[in-house]
Amino acid sequence: MSEKKENEGFVSFLCHNCHQEIEASTDMIGQSVDCPACGVKITVPAADETPDVLKEALKSRTIRIELDSM
């Protein structure tokens, strides 16, 4: 069974503090980073921890965290 991912290589999730939609490289999974909106420390979750419905909803409103910003 093969699942096609439109943004393969990135994981989308919400900040637990301000609920900003965030996108980060899968290379950052498990790392603690600052939310680009509110500055609180967040841990980038594994892609399978984000429900598919939320992934679809986040596509147009995310802030991407770049590796260079850490």
State the pairing for strand pair 10-14/21-25: antiparallel
For 13-64, what is each residue's pLDDT tens digit? 889 999 888 889 999 999 999 999 999 999 999 877 666 655 566 565 666 6
What are the domain boundaries of the chain?
10-69
CA atoms 48, 8, 13, 65: torsion sign: positive
Tokens describing residue 19: 């609920």
Q: pTM score > 0.75 for this model?
A: no
13 CB-near residues (< 8 Å, 6+ apart): 21, 22, 24, 44, 45, 49, 50, 54, 58
